[in-house]
């Protein structure tokens, strides 16, 4: 999953995404997210990975959300959260995505 890079004690957002293959004990780079983010919610629903909220490149709180389709290796922006959230978490349940908590 994408996330943050830390340089000299300061976190910064990134759009980079990596997939870990446990059988091979190796990482491979996937398509980048449309929005660089960190401290965001991420969950799988029906074989697709969702990323929502977090902090952006300028430290702003994000409301944007996107979905990754592993069959096409492509991220697509979807409807935004109702308000910006960071430090939140997500889970999939019965085919729906739930984003909870955070600030």
Q: What is the DSSP string of 20-85?
A: EETTTTEEEE-PPPSS-BBS-EEEEETTEEEEE--B-TTSPBP--EEEEETTTTEEEEEPPPSS--
pLDDT, greater one: 6 or 87:
87
pLDDT tens digit sequence for 51-102: 999 999 999 999 999 999 999 999 999 999 999 999 999 999 999 999 999 9
What number is the average pLDDT over the span 24-44? 98
pLDDT band at 39 (very low <50, low <70, confident <90, very high): very high
Which candidate, 98, 100, 103, places its Cα nearest to that of 45?
Answer: 98
Give me the number of domains the chain comprises: 1
> For residue 70, how many other CB atoms are within 10 A of its CB?
13
pLDDT at 11: 78
- Domain limits at 35? 3-100
* 84 contacts 63 by C-beta, under 8 angstroms: yes
Contact of 14 with 7, CB cutoff 8 Å: no
Residue 81 in tokens: 């959260």
């Amino acid at each position: 999953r994408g996330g943050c890079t830390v340089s000299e004690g300061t976190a910064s957002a990134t759009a980079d995404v990596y997939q870990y293959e446990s059988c091979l004990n190796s990482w491979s780079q996937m398509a980048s997210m449309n929005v660089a983010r960190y401290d965001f919610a991420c969950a799988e629903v029906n074989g697709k990975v969702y990323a929502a909220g977090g902090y952006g490149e300028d430290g702003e709180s994000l409301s944007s959300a996107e979905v990754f389709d592993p069959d096409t290796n492509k991220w697509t922006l979807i409807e935004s959260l109702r308000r910006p959230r960071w430090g939140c978490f997500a889970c999939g349940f019965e085919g729906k995505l739930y984003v909870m908590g955070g600030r």
